[in-house]
Amino acid sequence: HGGRARPRGERLFRHHADADLGAMLPSQVLALAQSALMLVLTIAGPLLLTSLIVGTVIGLLQALTQIQETTLTFVPKLLAMGLV
Protein backbone atom coordinates (compact mmCIF):
# COMPACT_ATOMS: atom_id res chain seq x y z
CA HIS A 1 0.00 0.00 0.00
CA GLY A 2 1.50 3.31 -1.06
CA GLY A 3 4.64 1.66 -2.49
CA ARG A 4 6.93 2.89 0.30
CA ALA A 5 9.23 0.53 2.13
CA ARG A 6 9.13 0.65 5.89
CA PRO A 7 12.50 1.35 7.59
CA ARG A 8 13.94 -1.58 9.51
CA GLY A 9 12.78 -1.79 13.10
CA GLU A 10 9.65 0.27 12.54
CA ARG A 11 6.52 -1.71 13.20
CA LEU A 12 2.99 -1.10 12.05
CA PHE A 13 0.45 -0.40 14.74
CA ARG A 14 -2.48 -2.75 14.50
CA HIS A 15 -4.62 -0.85 16.98
CA HIS A 16 -4.73 2.84 17.87
CA ALA A 17 -4.22 2.00 21.56
CA ASP A 18 -0.77 0.62 20.65
CA ALA A 19 0.36 3.86 19.04
CA ASP A 20 2.45 6.26 21.12
CA LEU A 21 0.46 9.41 20.57
CA GLY A 22 1.68 11.18 23.69
CA ALA A 23 -0.43 13.16 26.10
CA MET A 24 -2.00 16.44 25.11
CA LEU A 25 -0.99 19.49 27.06
CA PRO A 26 -3.73 21.41 28.87
CA SER A 27 -3.13 24.38 26.58
CA GLN A 28 -3.72 22.13 23.55
CA VAL A 29 -6.95 20.81 25.04
CA LEU A 30 -8.18 24.35 25.71
CA ALA A 31 -7.25 25.49 22.20
CA LEU A 32 -9.07 22.51 20.68
CA ALA A 33 -12.15 23.14 22.83
CA GLN A 34 -12.13 26.82 21.91
CA SER A 35 -11.89 25.99 18.21
CA ALA A 36 -14.75 23.49 18.51
CA LEU A 37 -16.94 26.03 20.31
CA MET A 38 -16.23 28.70 17.71
CA LEU A 39 -17.13 26.27 14.92
CA VAL A 40 -20.44 25.39 16.61
CA LEU A 41 -21.28 29.07 17.12
CA THR A 42 -20.35 29.89 13.53
CA ILE A 43 -22.64 27.18 12.20
CA ALA A 44 -25.58 27.43 14.63
CA GLY A 45 -25.35 31.11 15.59
CA PRO A 46 -27.14 32.65 12.60
CA LEU A 47 -30.00 30.14 12.85
CA LEU A 48 -30.43 30.71 16.58
CA LEU A 49 -30.27 34.49 16.21
CA THR A 50 -32.85 34.43 13.42
CA SER A 51 -35.16 32.23 15.47
CA LEU A 52 -34.78 34.54 18.48
CA ILE A 53 -35.59 37.69 16.51
CA VAL A 54 -38.58 36.19 14.66
CA GLY A 55 -39.91 34.62 17.86
CA THR A 56 -39.69 37.92 19.72
CA VAL A 57 -41.45 39.84 16.95
CA ILE A 58 -44.23 37.23 16.67
CA GLY A 59 -44.55 37.13 20.46
CA LEU A 60 -45.00 40.91 20.57
CA LEU A 61 -47.60 40.77 17.81
CA GLN A 62 -49.45 38.00 19.66
CA ALA A 63 -49.41 40.02 22.87
CA LEU A 64 -50.69 43.13 21.09
CA THR A 65 -53.46 41.32 19.22
CA GLN A 66 -54.21 38.82 22.02
CA ILE A 67 -53.97 35.90 19.58
CA GLN A 68 -52.72 32.81 21.42
CA GLU A 69 -51.99 30.35 18.64
CA THR A 70 -48.91 28.15 19.17
CA THR A 71 -48.41 27.29 15.50
CA LEU A 72 -48.27 30.98 14.66
CA THR A 73 -44.74 31.20 16.08
CA PHE A 74 -43.53 27.92 14.60
CA VAL A 75 -44.26 28.55 10.91
CA PRO A 76 -42.61 32.00 10.61
CA LYS A 77 -39.53 30.75 12.51
CA LEU A 78 -39.26 27.76 10.20
CA LEU A 79 -39.59 29.95 7.10
CA ALA A 80 -37.06 32.51 8.35
CA MET A 81 -34.54 29.81 9.28
CA GLY A 82 -35.00 28.28 5.84
CA LEU A 83 -34.06 31.59 4.28
CA VAL A 84 -30.91 31.87 6.37
pLDDT tens readout for residues 10-51: 655 566 555 555 688 889 999 999 999 999 999 999 999 999
Of 79, 84, 82, 76, nearest in space to 56 by CA = 76
C-beta pairs of 15-21 under 8 Å, 24+ apart in sequence: none
The pLDDT assigned to 75 comes to: 86
The predicted model scores a pTM of 0.58
Cβ–Cβ < 8 Å for 72, 58: yes
The pLDDT assigned to 69 comes to: 82
The pLDDT assigned to 24 comes to: 82
* Residue 10 Cα to chain centre, angstroms: 39
